[in-house]
Amino acid sequence: MKQYSRIFDYLRAYKGKIFIYFLFTLLSILFSIVSIGMLMPFLQLIFLGGKTGITTSSSNAFIQYVNDFLNNSVQTKGKATTLGIICLLMVSFIILKNIFLYLSYYILNPLKNRIVNQLREDLYDKVLRLPFGFFN
């Protein structure tokens, strides 16, 4: 465990950037899940169709709100418009997922390079301070 604490000492200087990295990664995961979840009403509307529109009951308030919105949209605007709305939502969620994924990599790569560079410098300094007899 002591080795890990030594590695975490290098990370201590970058707490804020690490937090931002995890935040962007979590947002990317969230939008990825939501974009995949939007496939269900899309496929239901295409294949089941019928007069019922989108039929899904859920205990989650957000999912129930989206289902109610889509059902109202089917009844008032028609199926073609509702399919367009679902497609726009899916594309926008995928774009947001990719933007947050890009931002997380944008934060991570320079951070990773700085930490590896600092580890190399410390190792080089350690090797220079070792006595000559160590290398025999």
Residue 80: CA atoms inside 13 Å, Cβ hemisphere, count? 0
pLDDT per residue as tens digits for the range 36-73: 877 777 777 777 764 555 556 666 677 777 777 777 88
pTM of the model: 0.75
